[in-house]
Amino acid sequence: MTRFQLTGLWTGLGVLLVLVSGCATSKGTVRQIPSAAVVGVPVESRTTSSVDEAPEVIAPVKVQEPEIRVNCRATLSKDDELVKALVEQRVRDGNYYAALAQIQSLPSEVATVAALRADILRQLQSPQAEAWYVALQGSCLAGRAEHGLGLLAAQRNDYTQALKRLISASRLLPADSRVRNDLGFLYLHLNMDAPAEFELRTAYELAPEDKVPGFNLALLALLRQDEGAWVYWSDRISFTTSDREELLHSCQYLMRKRSRSQSSVSCPMSPRTALPSAVQMPTMPKGK
């Protein structure tokens, strides 16, 4: 759940966390930055930000793409809206190949279709994804473009560019929980805990039904050895045994990254340990 809903962010960051990025699933945990994006460490992006994860083993997809022209005024017919809804459901289910096949029947110049197509191609690690996002820059969906480009940069381990793009996306889409989660997850990966907490808390409050930001906040609590925060989030999210193992793996990964050690580094706190129920949400530290 420490996830980049960015899906792909984990892949790029090499962490077991999860990002939600525009097309992520509801899961969202810290995953190997395969996806912001977490397990296995978004921003598609589980602890990962918007970050969903791409399939475990997948070869870059090369597709004969049409000429890219984005028209923000173009709309879909009622029948096409139904097809688009089906494509979105396939994306949520992680069936990206089927989603790509079906979206090819929709008019690609429609901005929302172009953005969805870019997200699918990114999940499939297709090199054509970037061109679709670039075509959306400066359009009515510029925020989606910046988010997607940020996730692609994270997949390439270009964290400077990823941070720049995700910050830009958060300014264009300030109330998008997936963008805020993915940005927070990236901060977490970069050992910038204060801004990570701010973004993740924002993401959680914007979409409290989404488990991903809470998962990432729990991961942050483990890294900080903050028992109060860990108790709160573990009680709030009701982690399964699998979730706790994922959190442990992600915490160990990030601790190893932070210490720049090639050997195993233990997590400051064990998520396997059951603790009493929390009473109130932990308060954020005051700025210096």
Q: How many domains does the chain have?
A: 1
In a domain, 69, yes or no: no
The predicted structure's pLDDT at residue 284: 62
- Regions of the chain with pLDDT less than 50: 1-2, 6-8, 10-12, 14-57, 276-279, 288
* Sign of CA pseudo-dihedral 224, 227, 229, 230: positive
Domain that holds residue 260: 1-55+142-288
Cα(246)–Cα(253) distance, integer angstroms: 11
The predicted structure's pLDDT at residue 13: 55
| Cβ count within 10 A of residue 155 | 26
Largest CA distance in the chain: 58
Nearest in space to 152 (alpha carbons), one of 135, 168, 173, 166: 166
In a domain, 218, yes or no: yes
The predicted structure's pLDDT at residue 37: 37
CATH label of the domain that carries residue 176: 1.25.40.10
In a domain, 111, yes or no: no
In a domain, 92, yes or no: no
- The backbone torsions φ and ψ at residue 164, rounded to the nearest 5 degrees and listed phi first, read -60, -45
The predicted structure's pLDDT at residue 228: 92
The predicted structure's pLDDT at residue 262: 76
pLDDT tens digits along 95-135? 999 999 999 999 999 999 999 999 999 999 999 999 999 99
Cα(85)–Cα(217) distance, integer angstroms: 31
In a domain, 96, yes or no: no
Q: Tokens standing for 255? A: 């601790």
In a domain, 3, yes or no: yes
In a domain, 121, yes or no: no
In a domain, 221, yes or no: yes
> Is the separation of the CB atoms in 28 and 47 below 8 Å?
yes
